[in-house]
Amino acid sequence: MSLAEAAAPASADPRDILRDVFGYEQFRGHQAAIVDHVAGGGDALVLMPTGGGKSLCYQVPAIARQRAGLGITVVVSPLIALMHDQVGALHEAGVEAAFLNSSLSFEQAQDVERRLLRGEITLLYAAPERVTTPRFLDQLDRLAQRGQLALFAIDEAHCVSQWGHDFRPEYRQLEVLHTRYPQVPRIALTATADDLTRADIVERLQLQEARQFVASFDRPNIRYRIVEKSQPAQQLLRFIEQEHEGDAGVVYCQSRKRVEETAAFLAQHGIDALPYHAGLDAELRQRNQDRFLREDGIVMVATIAFGMGIDKPDVRFVAHLDLPKNIEGYYQETGRAGRDGLPAQAWMAYGLQDVVNQRRMIDESPAGEEFKQGLRGKLDALLALAEATDCRRVRLLAYFGEHSGPCGNCDNCLAPPQVWDGTEAARMLLSTIYRVQQASGIGFGAGHLMDILRGKATEKVAQYGHDKLSTFGIGAQLSEPQLRAVLRQLVAIGAVAVDAEAYNTLKLTEGSRAVLRGERQILLRESVAQPASRKRSTGTRSGAVAAVAAGLTAEGQARYAALRAWRAEVAKAHNLPAYVIFHDATLAAIAALDPQDVGQLEGVSGIGARKLAAYGDEVIRALRAV
Ligand code: ADP
Ligand code: ZN
């Protein structure tokens, strides 16, 4: 029993629990409605973006129902590697929690089972394959007979669906929870939005009667930026050095090789970067993940194998060096930034080769034509986002069916790009492709075609007599970056195809006609020659300290630094990530307040009764030492 519980009979009111246990004043968004519904015994399906605050939606009802004498909550979670930290965070808040998974010895597992049957546990985390074993179900039977089975929480519920991106066959068996214990309420949670997956979750988990709570998918604290790719590794380095020095971040790359190279490149330049991909030795991979979670300011360079269930709240940026496959993937990956609600950035470098690669991967996949058509449609939507000259967020949210206005926090809103009409340039390029094909009977690559348009008398031009073409030199006023942008957009909209089998030669397509006829306008952003010269963003200045503690005085900064040092020691001693002890925002609030005694710490967001009792004195002592 926690200290707080010993002091007074524990309240089963969700608002009291939110304040006393978690130290938060208010529920966010749909949380209040969800918590009331579930604590009252209703079933719920919760769709909330990453960082929306899903955990509290089942943790608060679990505590409320336990305090009302209704017994334990079983939390089904697919991520064994992260259960330890989740349970650790609950312990820190004074909640009795435990996990059952294959990392425990037989004796340890038995001990958990004994505590479970004695009613000493409020939340039990378990993997789906464990939950559906006869042994575990037998224990649940015994709890149910005594009316001590309070709630089932099914996290990452999209894993039940083949349409989701993380299909886990074991999730299908979770249906048994409903058929076997129809009286026990269930809450299923996911951050995956699309209708197909949602319908599948309802069907597979028999949640037809459950109330659905669908939150807005906007993440207002994330700033979206997409830059033209020239030298990606250098661009990334500049981005990190100028805007995220000392910050934790994730860099996504498509291939293992690229992950290795990029991590090595960043490390060479003094950045704490670690690689993560499925080809790494399992132990090393786990070690890198642990370091990312536990230490401050690590940059994880990873393939998409990394990330699900990573609930580190203070990831300040997510960078993409390669184009994801679709908007769902992009949104999920970028969503790992800024879960704590503080400013964060989603940055992507994007270029012609990305478009070519993604189109080729679809073309070459063994899937049926209809399925490929679906993939192309999804890629097109992402390309439209990448090429957009208007608000990125409006487009992102529109993709998920939400209507919104210009956000003021994306690259296009903050620095509206100069737009020029590239329609004429596009027509020139298309007619050149047509004419060289006619004249020489073979296709040519982008470089040569641009030389013709710009009237450059190269050897190759002379060799093929392309200086005689009517389009020779008609685009002399266009710069090479301009022409490249035109070409990229033509490939993006499918008006030009790149033949990878034949030296990347360019070909006309069905889609070329509309552009040639002038029926389709091509609008392009003026290339920013020196993206680095743009004014620095104010929200995320250099360093983790600056981002959170920007408003502090010099003395406040010193107090903040001392608190972080103290927290690092505690986290290490408890073998938990630092944010589990206190969030950066909580430390910054304490540093600003400059409390003289423990009493003044009460009410600071993120300090519940248990943490106040456990750490109050230490915090005051750490502050006195500054
Ligand atoms: P999700 O699982 O939806 O990605 P989390 O449950 O990890 O999100 O919550 C994201 C962060 O927001 C966590 O650090 C959590 O402590 C914080 N949080 C959630 N709800 C509240 C609230 N009502 N008040 C303050 N902070 C909250
Ligand atoms: Zn915007």
Cα 319 from Cα 339, distance rounded (Å): 16
Apex 322 CA angle, 320 and 323, nearest 5: 95
Q: What are the beta bridge partners of residue 274?
A: 300
pLDDT score for 183: 96
pLDDT one-digit tens code per residue, 420-468? 899 999 999 999 999 999 999 999 999 999 999 999 999 999 999 999 9
Lowest mean pLDDT, pick from 117-131, 542-556, 583-597? 542-556
> Which among 40, 45, 41, 42 is positioned nearest to 188, based on CA atoms?
45
Rounded distance from Cα 318 to ligand 2 centre (Å): 17
- Residue 546 one-letter amino acid: A
Cα 276 from Cα 259, distance rounded (Å): 7
Q: Are 192 and 36 in contact (CB under 8 A)?
A: no
Q: Tell how many helices (H) and how many strands (E) occur in the chain.
A: 29, 17
| Tokens found for residue 9 | 């009979």
Show the domains of the chain with their CATH numbers.
3-214 (3.40.50.300), 222-415 (3.40.50.300), 420-525 (1.10.10.10), 551-624 (1.10.150.80)
Cα 527 from Cα 519, distance rounded (Å): 24
Query: Parallel, antiparallel, or unpaired: how do β-strands 496-499 and 505-508 relate?
Result: antiparallel
Rounded distance from Cα 411 to ligand 1 centre (Å): 27
pLDDT one-digit tens code per residue, 607-626? 999 999 999 999 999 999 88
pLDDT one-digit tens code per residue, 171-193? 989 999 999 999 999 999 998 76
Lowest mean pLDDT, pick from 56-65, 142-151, 399-408? 399-408
- Model confidence at 204, pLDDT cuts 50, 70, 90, reads very high
| Ligand 1 touching residue 49 (CB < 6 A) | no
pLDDT score for 311: 81
pLDDT at 132 over 60: yes
Q: pTM of the prediction?
A: 0.83
pLDDT one-digit tens code per residue, 266-294? 999 999 999 999 999 999 999 999 999 98
| Ligand 1 touching residue 48 (CB < 6 A) | yes
Instruction: Report percent pLDDT > 90 for the chain.
Output: 71
- Model confidence at 8, pLDDT cuts 50, 70, 90, reads low
Atom of ligand 1 nearest to the CA of 191: 3
In the numeric block, the tokens 């002379």 are attached to: 462
Rounded distance from Cα 51 to ligand 1 centre (Å): 6
Cα 11 from Cα 33, distance rounded (Å): 19
pLDDT one-digit tens code per residue, 24-52? 999 999 999 999 999 999 999 999 988 88
Nearest residue (CA) to ligand 1, atom 25: 24
Collapsing DSSP to helix, strand or coil, 552 comes out as: coil
Kindly state the average pLDDT of the residues 503-528.
Answer: 87
pLDDT score for 480: 87
Rounded distance from Cα 142 to ligand 1 centre (Å): 33
Kindly state the average pLDDT of the residues 566-574.
Answer: 92
Residues 6 or more apart in contact with residue 283 via CB below 8 angstroms: none
| Ligand 1 touching residue 219 (CB < 6 A) | no
pLDDT score for 542: 40
Nearest residue (CA) to ligand 1, atom 24: 24
Pocket mutation for ligand 1, best pick of 24, 25, 31, 55 (most atoms within 8 Å of C-beta) = 55
- Model confidence at 527, pLDDT cuts 50, 70, 90, reads low
